[in-house]
Amino acid sequence: MSVLLSYGGVIGIVFFLKPIREIFEKTKIPKYIKEIASVSIAVQIVIMPVIIYSYKTMSLTFIISNILTSGLIGIIIIFGFIIAFISLFLPLDLIKIVGIPYNMLINILLKITQITSQLPFSKIYVKTPYFYQIICYYILAFYLINAKKFKFNQDDNVIKRKQKNLVNKIVAILLVVMLIGELTDILPNNLQIYFIDVGQGDSTLIVTTQRKTILIDGGGSTEEDVGKDILLPYLLSRRIKKIDYIICSHFDTDHVGGILYLLKEIKVNKVIIGEQFEKNENYEEFKRIVKSKKIYVKIVKEGEKINIENNLYFDILWPSSTEKVSKNTINNNALVCKLNYKEFTMLFTGDIEEETEKILVSKYQNTNMLKATILKVGHHGSKTSSTNDFIQMVNPQIALIGVGKNNGFGHPNKEVIERIQKLGTKIYRTDEMGEIMIQVSKNGRKSVAIH
């Protein structure tokens, strides 16, 4: 990537520096600043799409940081060469003394970088562009920056005027092509469900037919920042930078760790949680974030219905407002909800265990409330969940298990796998298959794709 950015910077200077300089020549900006700004913009024109495509971010403060640091960087480089040279002749103690001002310059540079990184618009999250949009961008950028070359006088011959008209038509077509990608993001589509591979944890993204976004849990780990390293880049690669609904089943790290990061970084309209019978550090952090970000939080209980859009809603099956399971309180009182879309249903079970499953079987034994097309298997396929009575009552066609490779918990349990398979249910696991995508057509029929 560094090589690509380096070559991109050189290309930017070769093709764009001269016309940008000409634009700045008419201003009264000091020459030093004009030169730095011209070089910065020329480089950014080429490398910005590469940065956006790779890192899903962009900065509008690059000129400020370059103006503040360019001269300092030059001094640091020269000073570094001097210290390297004199180190061949001077003793180590004396070199340390000579190096004091050098270290001060480095610290000043780091401080400037830190300050500029906190400026507004210094880090803007961007949806991953389509490749054809990047190609269109480069063509348009070259044309717009070099627009003078394409200007014609009235005295020019017919051929040149035709060339001008052709160029204008091409520019118009390129703009329309770039906008097509944005239009496809808002047009109605099939219901799409992405069972995301977040390692040892659960996370499901739902994109409704009207393009509303729902995230159920967000994975998490004590070993890595799942929200920063996996979940947010994943959403941006799916061209999603706003979440309409986040549903937190419970506040164990492997379900909410990534959510806590997202809440701080992107726009979230509403969060849905169940009643919390036991507080933990994650829940306290969650309360601090939603309060500071002024995010609406809805606490739900069994018997409620969450309407998302026409023909699509969630039934809340657990937790109860009048009873709780005391054993493994956080897991067993996790939010259990059922997605309903026409003939398609999907049951989300969080980390509930045998004790809660027995209660649900008793509550809903004379109904179809637990029956579902797809079951998100409870507690990553742990032996403490997925009792025979429960999975028989759900009777899913497909079972999804979110689990990390070579995890230390023994998930999924062999006996659980066998019980599910006896029903003729097809099992999909993130540790073996990575991301699993389910697409549900407008008539309620599903298809499964493994990425």
Bridging pattern class, strands 242-248 and 213-216? parallel
Q: Is the pLDDT of residue 168 over 80?
A: no
* Boundary residue ending a domain (184, 205, 223): 184
Average pLDDT of span 413-429: 95
Report pLDDT digits (tens) over 194-235: 999 999 999 999 999 999 999 999 998 877 799 999 999 999
Say yes or no: 154 and 238 in one domain.
no
Say yes or no: 88 and 227 in one domain.
no
Say yes or no: 294 and 146 in one domain.
no
Say yes or no: 124 and 159 in one domain.
no
CATH number of the domain within which 394 lies? 3.60.15.10
pLDDT score, position 131 = 87
Average pLDDT of span 362-386: 95
Report pLDDT digits (tens) over 8-59: 888 888 888 888 888 888 788 788 788 888 888 888 888 888 888 888 888 8
Report pLDDT digits (tens) over 77-135: 777 777 777 777 777 777 777 678 778 877 877 777 777 767 777 788 888 888 888 88
Q: Which of 72-76, 197-201, 253-257 has the lowest mean pLDDT?
A: 72-76
Residue 424 lies in domain: 191-450
Long-range contacts of range 66-71, CB-CB < 8 Å, 24 or more positions apart?
A: 66/36, 66/37, 66/39, 66/40, 67/33, 67/36, 67/37, 68/112, 68/116, 69/109, 69/112, 69/113, 70/36
Say yes or no: 102 and 241 in one domain.
no
Say yes or no: 221 and 365 in one domain.
yes
Say yes or no: 62 and 157 in one domain.
no
Higher-confidence residue of 384 and 35: namely 384
Say yes or no: 94 and 161 in one domain.
no
pLDDT score, position 283 = 96
- pLDDT tier, 414 (very low <50, low <70, confident <90, very high otherwise): very high
Domain count within the chain: 3
Average pLDDT of span 152-171: 65
Say yes or no: 274 and 360 in one domain.
yes
Say yes or no: 35 and 111 in one domain.
yes
- Cα 55 to the center of its chain, rounded Å: 10
Say yes or no: 159 and 251 in one domain.
no
Question: What CA–CA distance (Å, rounded) separates 394 from 28?
Answer: 73
What's the whole-model pTM score?
A: 0.83
Say yes or no: 122 and 174 in one domain.
no
* Boundary residue ending a domain (82, 102, 129): 129
pLDDT score, position 177 = 81
Higher-confidence residue of 44 and 270: namely 270
* Boundary residue ending a domain (89, 106, 129): 129
Residue whose C-alpha is closest to residue 236's, from 201, 262, 272: 262
Question: What CA–CA distance (Å, rounded) separates 197 from 189?
Answer: 23
Question: What CA–CA distance (Å, rounded) separates 369 from 340?
Answer: 10
Residue whose C-alpha is closest to residue 357's, from 332, 375, 339, 327: 332
